[in-house]
Structure 1
Amino acid sequence: MASTALRLSRSRLSRLAQPSSSRSIPAASSASAHAPLAPRSLLLRRFASSGGDVEMEEEGTSRRKRSVLEQEVSPDDLFELLTEPNDVGDMPSLTHRMMMEKRRMLHYFRLIEHEMPKLVAYRKPFIPPNSKETPLYVKSISYQGENHPAVAKRAIVVNVDDLPLADAAAVHTIKLLAGPRWTPNPPKDAGVMEQEAWGNGYIKISCETYSNGEQNLKWASDALDRLVEQANNQKESFADLPLDMRHVYAKVRKGKKGDHRRDRPLRPVSKADFPKEWLPRTAASS
């Protein structure tokens, strides 16, 4: 198929195979007259290591004139190499993963096309949640299946105005009973919208005593029910007791934002506090 361009002549190969005593050594030039001759085993080793492509000049010397291999490929051989079918019968692992992802997406596309229209029978009109019926904000933490102590913890937040309290005295009583669990503003992690009015503040109760999250939620809900029951009990009056606001002011002082001045924790600053005298006069007012 391929012929080497550098060949070792038969005469030189025969002379190389003859014993050194029977070979005729030509007269060396004056420059290489005293150069030592390489042994026959070394020459044969060089010839074998080069693949038979080293041309021998004289006994004892070898020199490479051209490249080690120069192959001559015919057009038919080249066409056969280009049109030879691939012997690999399987795809790489990366291609298998790509095909698996395509199959998964195709499965969901089939569900969307054939199964989702059947859900129309279960359609119900959207009714916005009523704060009087569902006043609780429930917070839980999930680590996507990882075992963590905080997974079982449950916390509930409720607006005091949404609780079934009898009168203003019951509202004041439940604030006293809640203690530091009551704050005039909603907790940041409660999920309460910023546009919602604060009203009489919020109560937050959390529990992580039990290993089950449903048990902790039940305990927190029962604790809130007990607070409401005791607040509606009119046997004793706590109207003369002031609210303990030390936990509120301690929190705002720790934030170092100046909210502890001018009674800001109980009455947040808004656009309504802007002085009307500073507003520009309109054409109607003038």
Structure 2
Amino acid sequence: MNSLAKRFIAKRCLHSSAARLVRQRPSRTTPGAPAKKADLFDLEDLPEFGDEDASSAGHFVIGQQRQILHYLRLIDGEVALLNAYREEYQPPSKDKPLVVRSISYGNEPHPATAKRTVVVPVAHLPLNTPIAVHKFILLAGVRWSPTPPPDSGIGADESGGEKGYVKISCEDFPEPGMNLKWASDVLDKMVASANNAAGDNFTDVPLDFRHLEAKVRKQKKGGHRSGMNGKRPSLRDFPQEWLPDKPVSIA
């Protein structure tokens, strides 16, 4: 065996176990002196690195590349099979007006995952008369808003928003189905109470919109000023009767 082969074998004989590493180290104690415990982290006793393996950062990059290749194979081989399950989007009809929102943290346990929120346009509810609509908005209280909530999934240009929206949420129960059932039952009770003409209709009670004013005031964007009603004036708000019949030229 030549010297080059001996050097190569000496470099490759590095075992990961501590006992094997201690046996490979030569003893540096003087004759007659008490034996000292070998230092496993002594850099002088470590064999020379032969560049036969990648570093920790290199293994991390290789792992990322393997993960990307795995998903590329899935896209190439299995995503095409999902075309058989395509369905044309149909907007919700009036007989299904509820919009249910949930929260997910990627299958990680979190208390908010059991919460369920129900948003529904008031115009799509089975309210019989305008008096029932007035009573329903009174019962909703601060849960009513003239515009769809930002996190409701309902666009501002969708139909059914002429009478506002109601948002009911619940997170008191441990299961999502229980919270959704509670919110749905409360909505059913509100509709039944609003349609009940035998009791007091509260026609003499005005609608209370102070919660909307407080919301605009907290935003601190100037919408709480007198006469603005939460909306900033624009050119569209300029009175048309103030405009002259003929254009006026300024010399």
Please give the range of the TM-score, normalised by the shorter of the 2 chains. 0.5 to 0.7
CA contact (8 A) 2:148 2:156 kept: no
Moved more, 199-208 or 101-110: 101-110
CA distance in 2, matches of 1:278, 1:263: 22
Match of 2:177 in 1: 214
In structure 2, relative to structure 1, the CA distance for the partners of 1:116 and 1:136 (3 Å cut) is same
Match of 1:104 in 2: 67
1:224 Cα deviation after fit: 0.9
CA distance in 2, matches of 1:201, 1:268: 20
CA contact (8 A) 1:152 1:213 kept: yes
CA distance in 1, matches of 2:56, 2:245: 72
SS of 1:262's equivalent in the other structure is coil
1:271 Cα deviation after fit: 5.6
Match for 1:238 among 202, 205, 215?
A: 202
Letter in 1 for 2:76: E
Does 2:130 correspond to 1:168? yes
CA distance in 2, matches of 1:98, 1:109: 17
CA distance in 2, matches of 1:254, 1:116: 47
CA distance in 2, matches of 1:269, 1:168: 30
Does 2:97 correspond to 1:130? no
In structure 2, relative to structure 1, the CA distance for the partners of 1:270 and 1:192 (3 Å cut) is farther
Match of 2:155 in 1: 193
CA distance in 2, matches of 1:179, 1:193: 22
1:231 Cα deviation after fit: 1.6
In structure 2, relative to structure 1, the CA distance for the partners of 1:281 and 1:107 (3 Å cut) is farther
Percent identical residues: 47
1:174 Cα deviation after fit: 0.7
Match for 1:116 among 57, 65, 79?
A: 79
In structure 2, relative to structure 1, the CA distance for the partners of 1:275 and 1:196 (3 Å cut) is farther
Letter in 1 for 2:170: C
Does 2:69 correspond to 1:95? no
Match of 1:55 in 2: none
CA distance in 2, matches of 1:255, 1:91: 55
Query: Which ranges in structure 1 are unaligned for 5 or more consecutive residues?
Result: 1-85
SS of 1:224's equivalent in the other structure is helix
Letter in 2 for 1:141: I
RMSD of aligned Cα (Å):
3.2
The alignment's TM-score, normalised by the length of structure 1, stands at: 0.57
1:129 Cα deviation after fit: 1.5
1:264 Cα deviation after fit: 2.1
CA contact (8 A) 1:154 1:216 kept: yes
In structure 2, relative to structure 1, the CA distance for the partners of 1:152 and 1:270 (3 Å cut) is farther
CA distance in 1, matches of 2:181, 2:171: 11
Match for 2:167 among 177, 197, 204?
A: 204
Does 2:247 correspond to 1:247? no
Does 2:116 correspond to 1:151? no
Aligned residues, how many? Answer: 195
The alignment's TM-score, normalised by the length of structure 2, stands at: 0.63
Residues 42-57 of structure 1: pairs in structure 2 closer than 5 A? none
Structure label with greater radius of gyration: 1
1:213 Cα deviation after fit: 2.5
Moved more, 159-168 or 132-141: 132-141
Letter in 2 for 1:262: G
1:272 Cα deviation after fit: 4.0
Moved more, 127-136 or 207-216: 127-136
Match for 1:262 among 193, 204, 227?
A: 227
1:253 Cα deviation after fit: 3.7
CA contact (8 A) 1:249 1:260 kept: no
